[in-house]
Copies of this chain bind each other. A is one copy, B any other.
Amino acid sequence: MDILFEHAAILTRNDQGWQVLPDAWLGIRGDRIAYLDNLPPQDEYAVRKNLVGHAILPGLFNLHSHTPMALLRGLGSNLPLDRWLFEKIQPVEYKMTAADESVGARISMMEMIAGGVVSFSDMYMAPAHYAEEVVQSGMRANIATPTRAVVDGIRVSSVPDALAFFDRYHQAANGRICADFALHAEYTSTIPEVEQITEICLERGAILQLHLSETIKEHTACKQRHGKTPAKFFYDLGTFDNPTIAAHCVVVEPEDIEILFEKRVTAVHNPSSNMKLGSGFMPLAQLRQRGVNLALGTDGSASNNNQNFFEEMHLAALIHCGYRNDPLAVMAEEVLTMATLNGAIAQRRPDCGAIAVGNQADLAIIDLDKPHLMPNHDLISLLVYSAQASDVVMTIVAGELLYDHGEFLTIDRDRVQADLKKSLARLF
């Protein structure tokens, strides 16, 4: 891209935190932000675009998803958790082919792109089945292969797959794609498996994704099994010596929070999923107070039931105020930081997550000319409490336009629909 956006409200950060430039210019050259100021630049751009009535915010980072699970959206909503999982979700998952995973991943990516998400962290059975689609989507993604896979209903080690995936995709597409490793969770891993993945990951300096203390059941069972919490379990095995992204962290204890802080583990908040499945409320205030890096995620669409990151921001800002009977429990500004910069930090993308000259041009552009965004007393409050994902009109990653007023420029919508029809016919 070689483009100059003019007269936009732009969300930037300085040492004091978030700052709104109400009428500013932003220039993109190639994949980077080349200009940012309250006054127009001296030099020329190939294209100039007037963005009066629009806001530019840093593209959003969805730090926890299972993109192929879009195919399972809304299945068994009225069943208790174990019947939902064992009767509705897993039987379909065990039948899913590479083509099914690919179409599910593309649906999730379309949702994310349409809602201003520029980067996501993903964990699913066989990401090699859809990694090419991620490359072609133009998004950033940290994609993890779990330790085990299910083939014909039998659980097998997928460590060789994970290694092959790492070699092929790590830092692919100019660094847009990173291959992470995954330990699904304590309750699905043996100690030798944890040791093996910990070591593999350390050798490669890779990021590790896992689920941590999502439910009280999981947390309590771990204490019975190992005499320690899941956080302590992984800590003692050296797992957290890797840069780690821990999803959920709903029932972490004070000692666990100390561990997460000490080892700089990122805790990913998934409010929709944690409520939908009855898991509860992450102790967000305690994690923040201790200085743990907090990011935000949608989780997969089987338990969300969408990839609407604006909804996730809104929920993160609201639910703790209700739960703690404190309207100041969470501030809009910190939710925005979780949704952008903290996610980029967790994915180890130092030139992403904020609008600044020299950074990657990862942007979400919002149309403010909507009744629900009038009046504009406070742009940050408006974005977190009032906006909808559908207010996004353009999504840009690494200076490439992926979405423009309803049109997907990197994903073939017709092909997705045709592929979906085939998958549904096969699976259901």
Give the B-binding residues of A (Cβ under 8 A).
70-75, 77-81, 84, 107-108, 110-111, 114, 216, 271-272, 274-281, 301, 304-308, 311, 314-315, 318-319, 321-329, 331-333, 371-372, 374-378, 381-382, 385-386, 388-390, 416-417, 420, 424, 428
Contacts and interface: CB of A to CB of B under 8 A. Distances in A.
A111 B385 contact: no
A75 B378 contact: yes
A304 B386 CA distance: 8
Contacts of A315: 315, 318
A275 B80 contact: no
Given A311-B314, A386-B73, A389-B388, A321 B275 contact: yes
Contacts of A74: 376-378, 381-382, 385-386
A73 B373 CA distance: 8
B318 A276 contact: yes
Contacts of A80: 327-328
A401 to B, nearest CB: 18
Nearest to A325: B278
Contacts of A381: 74, 77, 305
Contact of A371 (B107, B324, B325): B107
A81 B311 contact: no
Given A77-B332, A372-B306, A322 B378 contact: no
Given A70-B374, A375-B71, A279 B325 contact: yes
A306 B386 contact: yes
A407 to B, nearest CB: 13
B276 A321 contact: yes
A305 B107 contact: no
Give the 8 A-B residue pairs with the shortest CB-CB distance, closest first: A275-B322, A390-B390, A110-B371, A278-B327, A74-B381, A305-B385, A77-B381, A275-B318
Given A308-B388, A388-B388, A375 B84 contact: no
A84 B328 CA distance: 11
Q: Which of A71, A78, A81, A277 has the most CB of B within 10 A?
A: A78
A279 B374 contact: no
Copies of this chain, count: 2
A322 B385 contact: no
30 contacts: A72-B377, A73-B374, A73-B375, A73-B386, A74-B376, A74-B378, A74-B382, A75-B377, A77-B331, A78-B331, A78-B333, A81-B327, A84-B327, A110-B371, A111-B371, A275-B318, A276-B321, A276-B322, A276-B327, A278-B322, A278-B325, A278-B329, A281-B322, A301-B386, A311-B311, A319-B319, A323-B323, A374-B420, A375-B420, A375-B424
Nearest to A115: B372
Contacts of A325: 216, 278-280
Given A80-B327, A314-B311, A332-B77, A278 B321 contact: yes
Nearest to A369: B417
A326 B378 CA distance: 36
Nearest to A321: B278
Contacts of A75: 377-378
A371 B318 contact: no
Contacts of A78: 328, 331-333
Contacts of A72: 377
A55 B227 CA distance: 52
Contacts of A322: 271, 274-276, 278-281, 319
Nearest to A72: B377
Contacts of A276: 318, 321-322, 327, 385
A371 to B, nearest CB: 4
B371 A114 contact: yes
Given A70-B371, A278-B321, A319-B319, 19 more contacts: A73-B382, A74-B381, A74-B382, A77-B378, A275-B319, A275-B321, A275-B322, A275-B323, A276-B318, A277-B321, A278-B329, A281-B323, A305-B382, A305-B385, A306-B372, A308-B372, A311-B388, A371-B416, A377-B428
